[in-house]
Structure 1
Amino acid sequence: MTTVLAPVAGAAIGLSAVPDPVFSQAMVGPGTAIDPRREPVEALAPIDGTIVKLHPHAYVVVGDDGRGVLVHLGIDTVQLKGEGFRLLAAEGDRVRAGQPVVAWDPAVVEAGGRSPVCPVVALDAVRDAVGGIAEGSVNAGDTLFEWS
């Protein structure tokens, strides 16, 4: 069982509410999404592991069991080319769940006409592998879902 933590504070809204079909249709895996508070924040590692991919707007942490969790900070934020994001870790770093990975401001993303919603996905997991999905208000570091 892998406990996946909320990388940011906000409202857990479910993947189906994400304004991007890749996430809303769970094409990359099951999980949920957080509509973040509109304030500067440090997005956290969702699990213990190694950062295998790190872009300013998204990152993947893979645990020792080989399970990878994707955190995507906003929708279409790749178009910002890193503007408004500050890396606090590096690709290849070992991180603990709850450790800051990227600093960003969801309000700035929204002001630029993009959704700041953050999908958190169990990569390549079967749909039924994710349970105990948080609903409503979550704080960064709270349990977001369980991956069995």
Structure 2
Amino acid sequence: MTTLLAVRSPVAGVVIDVTEIPDPVFSAGLVGPGAAVAPDPEAGGTAVAPIDGRLVKLHPHAFVVAADDGRAVLVHLGIDTVELHGAGFVLHATEGARVTAGQPVVGWDPSVVRAGGRSPVVPVVALDAEAASLGDVAPVGAKLTTSDVLFTIA
């Protein structure tokens, strides 16, 4: 029996419906099932590791943390932010490093993303997972901090 993996919110903010993500790749679940958070502009701009594991991919706008059992979570900081080429993002970790849930990974400013005409919404996706494996998804409208569980993966 697989233990549940608690995925914490990587940013403080409000849970939005996945279908409201302004990118069809995420809103249709093409990357995988998950949830999304609209960042709180008052909370500061640090994205943290949502689970314990290894940073298997790290870009200024996105990162993937894989747990020791292979389950992995993608955090994407805003929509179309790859087009910013790293402007407005500061890496606080290195690819391949071990991280613990809550550890700062990327510094960013959602207001800069917004000012650049992009959405600061943060999709959080369970990679290589079935939608049915997600549980305990935080309800739409819930205000979360980075210590709150966004969803679990079976």
Is residue 5 from structure 1 mapped to residue 11 from structure 2 by the alignment?
A: no
> 2:58 aligns to what?
54
> 1:15 aligns to what?
18
What is the rounded CA distance, in whole Å, between the counterparts of 2:132 and 2:17 in structure 1? 15
> What code does the residue aligned with 1:140 have?
T
Look up the SS of the partner of 1:110 in the other structure. helix
What is the rounded CA distance, in whole Å, between the counterparts of 2:107 and 2:121 in structure 1? 15
Shift, 1:141, TM fit: 2.0
Is residue 97 from structure 1 mapped to residue 101 from structure 2 by the alignment?
A: yes
Shift, 1:14, TM fit: 2.6
**More moved, 108-117 vs 32-41:** 32-41
Divergent runs of 4+, >2 A: none
Question: What does residue range 1-148 of structure 1 map to in structure 2 within 5 Å?
Answer: 1-39=4-42, 40-135=44-139, 136-148=142-154
Structure 1, unmatched stretches of 5+, are none
Structure 2, unmatched stretches of 5+, are none
TM-score normalised per structure 1: 0.98
8 Å Cα contact 1:30-1:125 kept in structure 2: yes
User: Structure 1, residues 100-142: CA drift from partner, whole Å, max 9, x if none?
Assistant: 0000010110011000000000001001110111122111121
> What code does the residue aligned with 1:43 have?
A
Look up the SS of the partner of 2:68 in the other structure. coil
> What code does the residue aligned with 2:93 have?
A
Shift, 1:84, TM fit: 0.1
Let me know the Cα RMSD of the aligned residues: 0.8
Look up the SS of the partner of 2:11 in the other structure. coil
Look up the SS of the partner of 1:12 in the other structure. strand
TM-score normalised per structure 2: 0.94
What is the rounded CA distance, in whole Å, between the counterparts of 1:82 and 1:43 in structure 2? 14
Look up the SS of the partner of 1:78 in the other structure. helix
> What code does the residue aligned with 1:33 have?
A
8 Å Cα contact 1:14-1:31 kept in structure 2: no
Shift, 1:70, TM fit: 0.1
What is the rounded CA distance, in whole Å, between the counterparts of 1:7 and 1:54 in structure 2? 14
Identity %: 59
